[in-house]
Amino acid sequence: MRYNAMIPELTVFDIQKTKQFYLSILGFRLEYERAEEGFLFTSYGESQFMFEQFHEDGWNTGRLCRPLGLGVNFSIEVEEIETLYRRLQQQGVAFYRGLSTARYETADGMMEQKEFLLQDPDGYLLRFTHARET
């Protein structure tokens, strides 16, 4: 397995709820876990995330309260964004923002991408995207 140069590790309040959401609902892959430590390593395509059950000795820089991750969104590139969106709709997932098309200026010109956003059980904001240059 190849590890990305940057892998977010997110503290969560209920590791089992997180595991069920990311694996069973979103379709992430479990790479490995350390159940006795409340730790998961997951992937979705080329995106990788680690999750750790909250504990007092963790790397907590302040008081944690919902929604977690204020001020950040995690962009996850997917190939079949419309298929994923429909599947999540059928499962009753609440979207923060529905499927839309956005245009962004980049160093190479303009990029157009389809995207939708949702929050995980702890409130982390996930932005699923499929981009193409225009």
Residue-wise pLDDT tens digits, 16-68: 999 999 999 999 999 999 999 999 999 999 999 999 999 888 888 888 888 99
CATH T-level fold of 9-56+67-133: 2,3-Dihydroxybiphenyl 1,2-Dioxygenase; domain 1 (3.10.180)
Residue 133 pLDDT = 58
Residue 60 pLDDT = 81
The rounded radius of gyration (Å) of the Cα atoms in the chain is 16
For residue range 86-132, list pLDDT tens digits in order: 999 999 999 999 999 999 898 988 889 999 999 999 999 999 999 87
Residue 51: Cβ-neighbour burial (10 angstroms; 0-12, 13-18, 19+): buried
Q: Which of 26, 27, 16 is nearest to 53 (CA)?
A: 16
Residue 31 makes CB contacts below 8 A (sequence gap 6+) with 1, 41, 42, 43, 48
How do the domains of the chain map onto residue ranges? 9-56+67-133
Q: What is the distance between the alpha carbons of residues 6 and 9, in angstroms, rounded to a whole number?
A: 10
